Amino acid sequence: MHWAVTTYDTAFGYVSAHGAPLVDLLDPQPGEKIIDLGCGTGAFAAEIAERGAAVLGIDGSPEMIAQAKALHPELSFAIDDAHCFTTSESFDAVASNAALHWMTRDPDAVIARVHESLRPGGRFVGELGGEGNCAELIVAMQTAWRVFGLSEPELPWYFPSPAEYAGRLEEGGFTVRLLEHAERPSRMVEGPNGAADWIRVYAPGALAEVPPELVEPLLQRVNDLAAPALRRESGWVADYVRLRFAAVRKADGSSSVY
Ligand code: BEZ
């Protein structure tokens, strides 16, 4: 996917704003080596670096990495695919904020790569969309597509249940220390056109299949359908559900730390 980098960073600024508490869960220590997996334009990597850790930001998008380098020239960034990246040294932690849900091809492969990059005892800390994430937005989208006689839009996200993701982490050689599955309604601060703006930024692939003359009426219909659940007097709210976890790489050869 090619990203509209500026829009991604500014129109829906809550992606970066939600990184703040996650850095506390990660608790980077001075001198630690930490990967930010799916680093986007580098905002979360910069927060980690402020705590004194050495950060390597990895992202599959050349556009995102170009912007990250421009914004944070003092940090290290690399273009790589989270499903198959390798590192020449062991890291103390891998962190990921609002990115794992884009890595749909093979979640186990991503976890395996993270495991491989960590030293035994290294931390994997992340936050992604969890089961039920954006449910109202997605139903409105699917309904509007159907009403317009279009085939169901392909949704490019992976929103696992806590049980599923915990199972994958355990199978992948991690001990799960914390797992939270929580609703987090989030104001679409600079998305005044609500669900329509959200789809333009986060599901451009679904729109690419739509005949150009239908795009505006289709998006208007999505807004009409989503408004009762998601529009407040103060503006639009995205029905986010977060899955937040902290896990530790098991010692080699151990079946469980407990
Ligand atoms: C999320 O952060 O939950 C999210 C962002 C974009 C698309 C889907 C979900």
Instruction: Evaluate whether residue 215 is within a structural domain.
Output: no
Q: Does residue 171 lie within any of the structural domains? A: yes
211 inside domain: no
Query: Which residue lies with its CA nearest to atom 9 of ligand 1?
Result: 129
The total number of structural domains in the chain stands at: 1
Residue 48 maps to a domain: yes
Q: Domain for residue 207, yes or no?
A: no
pLDDT category, 238, cuts 50, 70, 90? very high
Q: What percent of the chain has pLDDT over 70?
A: 90
41 lies in a domain? Answer: yes
Confidence of residue 191 (pLDDT cuts 50, 70, 90): confident
Of all protein residues, the one whose alpha carbon is nearest to atom 2 of ligand 1 is: 98
pLDDT in tens, 173-182: 999 999 999 9
State the distance from the centre of ligand 1 to the C-alpha of 256, rounded, in angstroms. 33
Say if ligand 1 is within 6 A of residue 202 CB: yes
d(CA 130, ligand 1 centre) in Å: 10
Task: Let me know if residue 222 belongs to a domain.
Answer: no
Instruction: For 23-46, write each residue's pLDDT tens digit.
Output: 999 999 999 999 999 999 999 999
What value does the mean pLDDT take over residues 79-108? 97
Indicate which atom in ligand 1 lies nearest the CA of residue 157.
8
For residue 257, how far is its CA from the centre of ligand 1 (angstroms)? Answer: 33
Q: How confident is the model at residue 15 (pLDDT cuts 50, 70, 90)?
A: very low
Atom of ligand 1 nearest to the CA of 15: 2
**Which pTM was predicted?**
0.89
pLDDT, position 189: 81
Which residue segment(s) compose the domain that 77 sits in? 5-132+157-189+238-249
- pLDDT > 60? residue 168: yes
Whether the CB-CB separation of 203 and 218 falls below 8 Å is answered with no
User: At residue 1, does pLDDT exceed 50?
Assistant: no
Q: Which has more confidence, 257 or 231?
A: 231
Overall average pLDDT of the 119-140 stretch: 98
- The pLDDT of residue 192: 80
CATH number of the domain within which 172 lies: 3.40.50.150
How far is the CA of 256 from the CAs of 69, 120, 176, 180, in angstroms? 39, 12, 10, 21
* Residue 15 domain-assigned (yes or no): yes
